[in-house]
Structure 1
Amino acid sequence: MIVLDSNIVAVALPTIARDLNAAFASVEWVVSAYVLTFAVGLMPAGSLADRFGRRRLLMVGLLFFTVASLACGLAQTAWLLNWARALQGVGAAIQLSAALAVLGHEFRGMERVRAFGIWGAVLGVAVTAGPIVGGLATSYLSWRWAFLVNIPTGMVLLAIAARDVDESRDFDAIGLDIAGMASFGFGLFCMVWGLIDANSDGWLNDSTVAKFGGGLGLFCLFFFVERRQSRPMIDLDLFSNRSFLGACAAMFGYAASAQVMVTYLPLYLQNAFHFGPASTGLAMLAYALPLLAFPPVGAKLAARFSGRTLLTSGLGLVAVGNLVAAVMASAHMSYPPFALGMLLIGTGAGLLNGETVKVLMSAISPERGGMASGISSSLRFVGIVIGFAGLGAILAGGARRRYGQLTETLLDVPSFGSGENLIASRLVAGDVDSLLSGLDPARREQFSEIFQASFESGFAMLLFSAALISGAAALLTYWLVCARETAPLQESGPLSLESGE
């Protein structure tokens, strides 16, 4: 439900902007508000699940998410929609941390391998269905159904959780780490806030520097606080475990170079190939179908290959896929060649979906499953946030430079008000019509080609950068993760995932 909702919104954003008569910069907060509260809430939510019970927090998260989805679907202004999306992010953080903790506590050995393989396949279903459902709903019904569809789903899931999920908790978690929760939550909020606004405010702007500085200071405070806690929210000694550290690198690289493409690829498909929402949803199948098909394949491969081999191979496929897509975008190729890169990215992501979580959570005892799921989910979403902001800056910068190169030799270039930065931001948002308005037909055709070439050039730089991220993560993972500690389990073998031996 969480991933489905995120994917639907990625396809529907331009339609939301037009329907609510809002500037696209305002509607971008439909994604950003969700990202902020989700990323900030993941780690505290995992600790709360350990303390108060995983089933209880799962049901609280489901209820919160369902009610917030209703508010999103009924919102009449961009301001109300953004606040509802922020509340939806809180519910998503609570339910995701609790759900992963339930899986980590309930299953052992090969059953855990299968469980996370199924979990990855469910994510693949959501990624596959999201663009299609979003495109069809936006084209033939209303973007509001992107949110309203969660209401019956949430009600059914609440009933299933109440009936079938056993309660579990960490009985040693006597008190809550309030100081750790506050310093981590507000520190991450400042960092994410700075990343989101840096593209518009400027990376060296006083406001941006203050946000990053405040976030860094709060993270330093968090580490100091956690060292003094008898039951910390994050056991910092875990990071001395090389396999755990390598799994963290794999999770971050996967999120920042593969999962972030759920948002960026629809933008490219609409801007470069001029696909409508419904066509964009169908075109995303090249990326989404492998996410559905390969988690079960990864679960079977886990019986033969170590976690290090699977993580490194998945990240390598993501790197190759991004590189292929970048070459196709640079050459202004049509959709079928570009789809080859999407297919490779999706294949690597499908292998990584369940394996990253399995290896990372296996380094922590089941009693602290909430903390494990919080770390896993936080790394995933922080990677998406940093990838979204950093790659967005590369996209805008590349488009701006290419636009300057293409117009340098032209005479009597029309003024577009705020200059090339405004042009780049509108190109990235897909708002080309406003740039072309007021131009005579000859100029309109000429600048339409320039704008598209500029966008494709910037997007190629984005894909090259994503390939570097996944490639670097693959090298770190291979170097840090121990093949022996992540060796494949046998049906009757020892439960080495719990011991890390």
Structure 2
Amino acid sequence: MSSPVSHRARAAQTARARPAFVLAIASATCALIVLDTNVVAVSLPSIARSFQASFAEVEWVVSAYMVAFASCLLPAGALADRVGRKRMLLAGLAVFFLASLGCGVAPTALALNVARAVKGVGAAMLLTAALAVIANTFHDGPARVRAWAVWGTCMGVATTIAPLVGGVITQWLGWRWIFLLNLPVCAVLGWCASREFVESRNPAPGPLDAAGSLLFGLALASGIWALIEVPSNGLVSWATGARLATCVLLSGVFVGLQRRRAHAMVDLALFRQPRFVAAVLAMFGYAACAQVMMTFLPLYLQNAFGLPAVAAGLGMLPFALAMVVGPYIGAALGRRIPPMILLSIGLLLIALGNLLTALVASGERYAWVACGMIVTGLGAGVLNGDTQKAIMACVPPERTGMASGISTTTRFTAIVTSVGVLGAVLAARTQTAFLTGTPLTLPVRAALDAGFLSRVMAGDAAQATEHLAPALRVMLTTAARASFADGFAAALGVAAIVAALVAAGVWLLAGREEVARVRGVVSEG
């Protein structure tokens, strides 16, 4: 039992805490994660050129981070409740610092991807701890509403500027500085947090589900590994089949384990509620079909248009700015439209935007591509906050922590899954378009080694063709750019179909009930 002295000390420490500074530090920590998640995509072609990396290796720069991040979010939240939110955040900053250093000095693509995976673990520790600190500092009332509004604004600004920041650093300092500049930021945040944060923890924490976390992470990694390697191994190869079978087997074991546990990491009973399933499905569709564009758009702008990194970052601004405007449109519509109908509308906007971009992607006219980006960005902005609110509205207050974990895990699992699926579509279509559109003369056949097209897709066209005669180099580079545009269009077409199907699923699960309920209320009135 705690002594009266300890209670007085904790009360005095809480009184000395400055909520505005706590909010600023926690929001800056989350913004650092958002920046690191989105800023890397612009640098992928530069990374490919440094390591002469294949398209699959470049995909792993994103996927290794996302798999580790998504796998560790739920256990990191439980661990923060047990060991203390402040201690968890400081430990996360230390892991993030060391992993950033490892990324910045990585000698090979494999070393970079391993460091990125460690960085994803640190990011999960940081995000869960920072969110818990905000929730523990601002308990209720207008102060809590303002705190989450400030936090949301910081996230929106970080998302908007990330492509441009990545382009500037990559082009003017080099891609390694994207990671090395995290070091002083982590040091400053750690010093501020150690001074301003008050330690807090859950007095009755639930048990840690280490086995569930491990099974979920391994299942996700196996599935992504299979999808990313499809262009190299083939869809029906034994390697792809073994990885997919492992993913299914581990997923089944994970579900069985969660059903038997008294304090499961995921309460599967929630998935018996159609509204909860619809909300989670909407989150998956939003992240898989819109947020994933933060990975592929920079590659498209640099590969298909030949833009430098800074120009590619600027070229993504229509998408990012539309995401900032979208929530205001969603808020206005939400006063007149039931929540699940609004989610369906947002998904349909994403489907329409992806379809428009797919139709003009091969035309090499940026203005039309920007129009498609804006439509997709508006749909993404509508869904960005409303999916989270819809999920939280389906659970009782005492389960909001777990629901938030499910929401965030769904978001990043969708992104990493989509990177694998859409990356496989992009690679397959690019290869087909290149082989059918390029005359395979003897000089061309001699120039095409096994990794040529994969390196070109990763953004390494210059080094992949540097040994060729000038005329042949120009022909193959032009053909490769046009083929990549075709592949990107095919990937966006798949994303549009998925978004439309998810919109229909959300409508069938919950949208019709909401419309019927609204009609009933109107008729009774």
Measure how far apart 1:302 and its partner are.
4.2
1:15-414 to 2 correspondence within 5 Å?
15-19=46-50, 26-101=57-132, 118-158=150-190, 161=193, 170-299=202-331, 301-330=333-362, 332-407=363-438, 412=442, 414=444
- How far has the Cα of 1:45 moved from its partner? 1.9
Rate the CA distance shift 1:147–1:445 in 2: closer, same or farther, 3 A.
Answer: closer
Q: Is the 8 A contact 2:292 2:418 kept in 1?
A: yes
Partner residue in 1 for 2:38:
7
More helix as a share of residues: 2
TM-score where L is the length of structure 1: 0.86
Show the counterpart of 1:454: 483
How big is the shift at 1:165?
A: 5.8
Give me the identity figure in percent: 46
Q: Are 2:506 and 1:477 equivalent residues in the alignment? A: yes
SS at match of 1:481: helix
In structure 1, C-alpha distance between the alignment counterparts of 2:271 and 2:132, rounded to whole Å = 20
Change (3 A) 1:46 1:296: farther
Task: Report the alpha carbon displacement of residue 477 of structure 1 after superposing the two structures with TM.
Answer: 1.8
Structure 1 residue 379 displacement after superposition: 0.8
SS at match of 2:445: coil
Deviation, structure 1 residue 216? 1.4
Q: Output the amino acid matched with 2:502.
A: A
Q: Could you say if the C-alpha distance between residues 307 and 194 of structure 1 is closer, same or farther in structure 2, counting changes exceeding 3 Å?
A: same
C-alpha displacement of 1:92:
0.9
Say whether the 8 Å CA contact 1:116–1:354 is kept in structure 2: no
Shift of 1:252: 0.7
Measured after TM superposition, the shift of residue 230 of structure 1 is: 1.2
When structure 1 is superposed on structure 2, of 453-462 and 165-174 the one drifting more is: 165-174
Measured in 2, the distance between the counterparts of 1:387 and 1:139 equals 28
Q: CA 1:472/1:422 → structure 2, altered by over 3 Å: closer, same or farther?
A: same
CA 483–154 in structure 1, closer or farther in 2 if over 3 Å, else same:
farther
Long gaps (5+) in structure 1:
487-501
Contact 1:249 1:477 in 2 (8 A): yes
**Bigger mean CA offset, 14-23 vs 201-210:** 14-23
User: How far off is 1:191 after superposition?
Assistant: 2.0
State the superposition RMSD in angstroms: 3.1
C-alpha distance in 2 between matches for 1:65 and 1:160: 16
- 1:448 is aligned with what amino acid? T
Equivalent residue for 1:463? 492
> Greater shift after overlay, 40-49 or 315-324?
40-49
TM-score, normalised relative to structure 2: 0.83
Q: Deviations over 1:243-263 (max 9, x none)?
A: 111111111111111111001
Mean Cα deviation higher: 242-251 or 355-364: 355-364
Bigger Rg, which one: 2
The farther-off stretch of 275-284 and 311-320 is 311-320
Letter in 2 for 1:289: L
